[in-house]
């Protein structure tokens, strides 16, 4: 886990760069690489990696390699995150100098929501801040709500942000959990196994009635999807807090109406269960 002070350092750098190279909400990644004189190579590398930053000792310069075989096409949402991640390795001094002077081994970067390397976590966080700067992200969330007649929060909010910032639903969800304008909780599952979760700081810190690495509760929308021959439920559904949690009996926040809505990734096979209150 990245130390809070380190996160501040990374976000300040990433957002400074984002504001220098942007077109409205879109961060101009190729222009950053061109400005830094880092050649980009979008090519076929089978399943070797998603992205890689390499230092050429002969010419004394860095190169970024992006693997289109893994779906990282130029200007695609996945490709943009991979490029932003590799730019993080280059623009963060500790990463760049470590690679240049052999203190860090060149390594293959993969899209992985369960990153274990702190280096990879930092590059992911840099990419998130670079693609979705805090003020732009929050302002767009609020503006979307106003323009839509103060509509209630739902998965549509994340989809709209995803399209505006050209980021994946998953990376948008993670960023929203960190800096968003509504309290949320989300579980990412695959093959009926809860793999991971996202929780905003203002969402109640209740105990779960499930465990990561085990099946999702059958009474949830995601649980019904897995138990009903993968029938997709895409609308906003009402549920009780105890479908996902074990709230304390004296916590009246559990009396509020809770909602769940699912996003289904056909490409990668995961399900996002988004949970929120009014």
* DSSP secondary structure of 64-130: EEEEGGGT--TTSHHHHHHHHHHHHHHHSHHHHHHHHTTSS----B---TT---HHHHHHHHHHHHH
Same domain for 149 and 254, yes or no, is: yes
Q: What's residue 14's pLDDT?
A: 98
CA distances to 177, 183, 276 from 186, in Å: 9, 10, 9
pLDDT value at residue 48: 83
Q: At what angle do helices 169-179 and 155-165 cross, to 10 degrees?
A: 110
Q: Which of 94, 114, 131 is the last residue of a domain?
A: 131
Sheet holding 270-277, edge to edge: 193-199, 184-190, 270-277, 258-264, 237-239
Last residue of a domain, one of 70, 104, 131: 131
pLDDT in tens, the chain (278 residues): 899 999 999 999 999 999 999 999 999 999 999 999 999 999 998 888 899 999 988 888 999 999 999 889 999 999 999 999 999 999 999 999 998 988 887 776 766 665 568 999 999 999 999 999 999 999 999 998 888 777 789 999 999 999 999 999 999 999 999 999 999 999 999 999 999 999 999 999 999 999 999 999 999 999 999 998 778 889 999 999 999 999 999 999 899 999 999 999 988 889 999 999 98
Q: Examine the fold and report which residue of 116, 131, 146 is the final residue of a domain before the chain moves on.
A: 131
Q: Which residue is listed with tokens 């990433």?
A: 14
Residues 175 and 266 in one domain: yes
| 138 and 269 part of one domain | yes
Cβ–Cβ contacts within 10 Å for residue 26, how many?
16
Bridge-based pairing of strands 270-277 and 22-23 is unpaired
Report the CATH number at residue 269: 3.30.450
Statement to judge: residues 162 and 73 lie in one domain: no
For residues 14 and 149, membership in a common domain is answered with no
| Cross-strand pairs, 263 | 272
Per-residue pLDDT, 108: 66
Number of domains in the chain: 2
User: How far apart are the two ends of the chain, measured CA to CA in Å?
Assistant: 31
Domain membership of residue 22 as a residue range: 4-131
Confidence (pLDDT) at 114: 59
Q: How far apart are CA 8 and CA 98, in angstroms?
A: 21
Verify that 118 and 161 share a domain, yes or no: no
Do 272 and 143 lie in a common domain? Answer: yes
The DSSP symbol for 215 reads B
Give 43's strand partners: 67
148 with 95, same domain: the answer is: no
The pair of three-digit structure tokens given for residue 23, joined into one six-digit string: 């077109």
What is the C-alpha separation between 273 and 275, in angstroms, rounded?
6
The whole-model pTM stands at 0.92
Which run of H or E residues covers position 212?
A: none
Q: 169 and 63 in one domain?
A: no
Q: Are 102 and 164 part of one and the same domain?
A: no
Q: Are residues 86 and 10 in the same domain?
A: yes
pLDDT, residue 117, reads: 85
In a shared domain, residues 268 and 140: yes
């Amino acid at each position: 886990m990245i130390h809070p002070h380190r996160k501040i350092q990374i976000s300040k750098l990433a957002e400074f760069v984002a504001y220098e190279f942007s077109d409205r909400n879109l961060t101009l990644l190729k222009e950053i690489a061109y400005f830094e004189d880092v050649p980009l190579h979008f090519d076929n590398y089978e399943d070797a990696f998603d992205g890689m930053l390499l230092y050429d000792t002969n010419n004394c310069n860095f190169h970024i390699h992006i693997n289109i075989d893994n779906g990282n096409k130029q200007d695609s949402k996945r490709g943009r995150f991979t490029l932003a991640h590799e730019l993080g390795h280059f623009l963060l001094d500790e990463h760049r100098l470590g690679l240049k002077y052999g203190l860090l081994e060149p390594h293959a970067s993969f899209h992985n929501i369960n990153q274990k390397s702190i280096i990879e976590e930092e590059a992911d966080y840099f990419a998130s801040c670079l693609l979705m700067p805090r003020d732009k992200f929050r302002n767009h969330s609020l503006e979307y709500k106003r323009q839509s007649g103060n509509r209630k929060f739902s998965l549509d909010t994340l989809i709209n942000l995803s399209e505006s910032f050209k980021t994946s639903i998953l990376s948008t969800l993670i960023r929203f959990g960190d800096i968003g304008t509504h309290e949320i909780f989300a579980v990412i599952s695959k093959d009926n196994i809860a793999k991971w979760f996202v929780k905003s700081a203002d969402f109640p810190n209740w105990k779960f009635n499930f465990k990561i690495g085990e099946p999702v509760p059958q009474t949830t929308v995601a649980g019904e999807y897995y138990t009903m021959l993968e029938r997709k439920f895409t609308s906003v559904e009402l549920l009780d807090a105890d479908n996902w949690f074990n709230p304390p009996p004296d916590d009246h926040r559990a009396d509020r109406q809770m909602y769940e809505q699912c996003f289904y990734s056909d490409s990668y096979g995961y399900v996002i269960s988004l949970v929120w209150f009014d």
